Amino acid sequence: MSDDKGNNQSSGNKSGGFNFSSGTTFNIGSSAQNNNFTVGEAEKSVASMSLTDKGKSPSANNKLAPQIVEMDAEVIENVDKLRKDQEKLFEIDEEYKKERILLEKKFLEKKKVLYEVRKNVVNGTVQGGSSSEIPQFWLNCLMQSKIIMIEECDIAVLEKLQDITVEYDDNFASFTLSFYFAKNEYFSNSVLTKKYGVSPDLLDDKSPTLTKCEGTEINWLSGKDVTHAEKKKKQKAKSGKNKGQTRVIVEKIPQRSFFHYFSTPKEELEEDEEGIFLDMEEDYEIGHLIRTAIVPEAVLWFTGEAGDGEEEEDEDAEYESGDEDDSEEEEEDDDDDDDDDEDDEPKGKGKPSEKGRKQKGKGKKKQDNEEKPECKQN
């Protein structure tokens, strides 16, 4: 189902695609972007043409395996019978998809009831119950993730976050994340949204393509934009009636902030943009995590029982790698000592290598149970 858990993540590969536990691969920039096929259309268009007709068609014949071209008529007839059965399998898949969509909708409605209760409890609006809210609930949920970068400047803004919801279109070909904020001193928006569209749909077991990624323009109040730092510069007029006079101009410089997530991502970033803005891969990775894990299991992220559980493993790998580097360095030190002995100039060993120490990294993760769609900008 579309609300599958997504805590355990596997590593990604930009050049070759993104492999999740279900086994499907999504390739950035592949030709699949240009084919407006729905589920099974490509396969059905091939299966509907007899092998005999394909053999007569130069364009189609190029797609046939060599052994097919060399088969005699009787064998080809038997293969065509199997291919007709393949068409029936496609029809079964379509029937399954329709029933699954109905099932998804049925259980999502049941979950929405509990999501509404959660929202009221978090914000202290439970009728007939305690009015004590749970402070910084969603802020702490997001901060548990190792792939969602929350900066110091974001904290005060995210303290105003009251709820996060996920909505799907009728065919599960898109989903929208909505972030609801209490009235605040930072921006005038009451809700910020991020919408993703895929083709053919989120329930596809093969290679859905990311066809849409739409953010929200944040209406920052004066001097409250946490996505940019302000730098003052003095500018002296070189000509005109104000020649020789100096004025102060304010230049806005992009800085790291979670709220860059609500802008439209680029497929590739320039060198000076890395670490500040999100590329397509990073952007969808965050959206996928929020949709499949943080929203359905929010209280467990708040308590720390859920989260990206691979950081320690990554750190151990770095530590082990560092040990190897240390060994190599120690061997080099020994060699140097030997040389020193020959020169009768003994020297003490230096400090241990810093490479062996654990370092906390960004720890990018991928989600189980669903493939990441191929990225495409409109």
Residues 1-13 have pLDDT tens digits of 444 444 444 333 3
pLDDT of residue 246: 74
Query: For residue 377, what pLDDT band results from cuts at 50, 70 and 90?
Result: very low
Beta-bridge partner residues of 178: 165, 193
pLDDT in tens, 19-77: 222 333 333 233 333 333 333 444 445 455 566 665 544 444 456 787 777 788 888 88
pLDDT of residue 173: 94
Query: For residue 259, what pLDDT band results from cuts at 50, 70 and 90?
Result: very high
Q: For residues 277-290, give the mean pLDDT.
A: 90
Higher pLDDT, 337 or 289: 289
Question: In whole angstroms, what is the distance from residue 293 CA to residue 226 CA?
Answer: 27
Reply yes or no on whether the pLDDT at 319 is more than 60: no
Question: In whole angstroms, what is the distance from residue 269 CA to residue 254 CA?
Answer: 14
Higher pLDDT, 233 or 80: 80
Domain regions of the chain by residue span: 18-312+361-375
What is the chain's mean pLDDT, rounded?
73
Reply yes or no on whether the pLDDT at 345 is more than 80: no
Reply yes or no on whether the pLDDT at 135 is more than 90: yes
Reply yes or no on whether the pLDDT at 145 is more than 50: yes
Q: For residues 286-297, give the mean pLDDT.
A: 95
Higher pLDDT, 297 or 69: 297
pLDDT-wise least confident of 106-110, 118-122, 317-321: 317-321
pLDDT in tens, 160-211: 999 999 999 999 999 999 999 999 999 999 999 999 999 889 988 777 788 8
Reply yes or no on whether the pLDDT at 273 is more than 90: no
Residue 82 tokens, joined: 């199997």
Contact between 308 and 7 (Cβ < 8 Å) = yes
SS (H, E, C) the chain: CCCCCCCCCCCCECCCEEECCCCCEECCCCHHHHCCCCCCHHHHHHHCCCHHHHHHCHHHHCCCCHHHHCCCHHHHHHHHHHHHHHHHHHHHHHHHHHHHHHHHHHHHHHHHHHHHHHHHHHCCCCCCCCCCCCCCHHHHHHHCCCCCCCCHHHHHHHCCEEEEEEEECCCCCEEEEEEEECCCCCECCCEEEEEEEEECCCCCCCCCEEEEEECCCCCECCCCCCCEEEEEEEEECCCCCCCCCEEEEEEEEECCCHHHHHCCCECCCCHHHECCECEHHHHHHHHHHHHHHHCCCHHHHHHCCCCCCCHHHHHHHHHHHHHHHHHHHHHHHHHHHHHHHHCCCCCCCCCCCHHHCCCCCCCCCCCCCCCCCEECCC
pLDDT of residue 204: 81
CB within 8 A of 318, min separation 6: which ones? Answer: 358, 359, 361
Higher pLDDT, 320 or 350: 320
pLDDT of residue 335: 53
Long-range CB pairs of 293-300 (<8 Å, 24+ gap) are 293/5, 293/6, 293/7, 293/367, 294/141, 294/142, 294/145, 294/164, 295/115, 295/164, 295/165, 295/166, 295/177, 296/3, 296/5, 296/111, 297/5, 297/7, 298/118, 298/137, 298/138, 298/141, 298/164, 299/118
Beta-bridge partner residues of 248: 234
- Length of the chain, in residues: 378
Question: In whole angstroms, what is the distance from residue 283 CA to residue 267 CA?
Answer: 10
Reply yes or no on whether the pLDDT at 103 is more than 90: yes
Q: Name the range with the highest mean pLDDT among 27-31, 110-114, 260-264.
A: 110-114
pLDDT of residue 310: 52
pLDDT of residue 130: 65
Query: For residue 253, what pLDDT band results from cuts at 50, 70 and 90?
Result: confident
Model-wide pTM > 0.85: no
Q: For residues 230-254, give the mean pLDDT.
A: 75
Query: For residue 95, what pLDDT band results from cuts at 50, 70 and 90?
Result: very high
- What percentage of the chain exceeds 90 in pLDDT? 41
Contact between 65 and 55 (Cβ < 8 Å) = no
pLDDT of residue 243: 73
CATH of 18-312+361-375, one of 3.40.50.2300, 3.40.50.920, 3.30.1120.90, 1.10.1060.10: 3.30.1120.90
Higher pLDDT, 275 or 136: 136
